[in-house]
Homo-oligomer: A and B are copies of this chain.
Amino acid sequence: MAAQGVGNEDRAIARRGIMLVVSSPSGAGKTTLTRNLIETEEHITLSVSVTTRVRRPSEIDGVHYHFISKRQFEIMRSSDQLLEWAEVHGNCYGTPREPVERALAAGRDVLFDIDWQGALQLYERMRADVVSVFVLPPSAAELKARLERRAEDSEEIIASRLKNAAEEIAHWPEYDYVLVNRDLDKSFTRLRSILTTERLKRVNRADLEGFVGTLLDGLKAITV
């Protein structure tokens, strides 16, 4: 089964999937980077959170979020079905455990677009599976300019995003990798490289041992 291998050509050598966590302040380019990664890379899927907040007209249930009731959320939380969760402005958000466990065991990677608090909770539960990347803007002025260029938010919201940015950025030392996103193409190449390289590390060494055993037997047979 191709999904279990490092790639199509390494079918025989299984690996466990990676939990790739990407965090950044709003406007640093995280969403573009992660969307490009999902579109370009095979064997990686975006983790879809559950939320108790009301669905916006532009959102699709099961794609942007799984929209659930407060009661359903409480059941999931209390029965340890959430890998991480948070309450923001009275709404609850969380990452369901089961699809993540299933993907990792099948050698598929899971991408998490979450903040430092979510990352911390994933560390606490599954540190060995997590590879974390923090995306920094090149400068404060550039971050502000990007938020203004998006033309999505009012001046007030932009000011609050910039304040939140400082809080989020303070957590960069907790991440495995830091990308300074000056150039989107270069940052994307680096993000892909991290994924490719970490996949090589997660190759099952026992499987590789079997592979090399067969290789050495083969050499013995043809050099006798």
Q: Is the CB of B177 within 8 A of A223?
A: no
Q: Is the CB of A194 within 8 A of B189?
A: no
Q: Mark A150-170, 1 if CB is under 8 A from B, else 0.
A: 000000000100110110011
Knowing A190-B196, A196-B193, the reply to whether A223 touches B163 (Cβ < 8 A) is yes
Number of interface residues of A (CB under 8 A): 52
Of the 9-residue stretches A31-39, A47-55, A111-119, A207-215, which lies at the interface with chain B? A207-215
| A137 interfacial by beta-carbon distance below 8 Å | yes
Instruction: List the B side residues contacting A166 at CB < 8 Å.
Output: 216, 219-220, 223
Most buried by B among A183, A200, A222: A200
- Write the chain B residue with the least CB distance to A208: B178
Instruction: List the B side residues contacting A163 at CB < 8 Å.
Output: 219, 223
Instruction: List the B side residues contacting A201 at CB < 8 Å.
Output: 177
Instruction: List the B side residues contacting A136 at CB < 8 Å.
Output: 211-212, 215
Q: Is the CB of B143 within 8 A of A219?
A: yes
In the complex, the count of this chain's copies comes to: 2
Q: Is the CB of A180 within 8 A of B10?
A: yes
Q: Which of B9, B141, B194 makes the CB contact (< 8 A) with A200?
A: B194
Which A residues from 182 to 218 make CB contacts under 8 A with B? 182-183, 186, 189-190, 192-194, 196-198, 200-201, 203, 205, 208, 211-212, 214-218
Residues of A bordering B, CB below 8 Å: 7, 9-10, 13, 136-137, 139-141, 143-144, 159, 162-163, 165-166, 169-170, 172-173, 177-180, 182-183, 186, 189-190, 192-194, 196-198, 200-201, 203, 205, 208, 211-212, 214-223
Sampled A-B contacts (16; CB under 8 Å): A9-B186, A10-B180, A10-B182, A136-B211, A136-B212, A136-B215, A137-B215, A141-B222, A143-B219, A159-B223, A165-B219, A169-B219, A177-B200, A193-B193, A193-B196, A194-B200
Q: Closest 10 interchain pairs by CB?
A: A140-B218, A193-B196, A197-B197, A193-B193, A9-B182, A140-B219, A166-B219, A162-B223, A193-B197, A194-B197
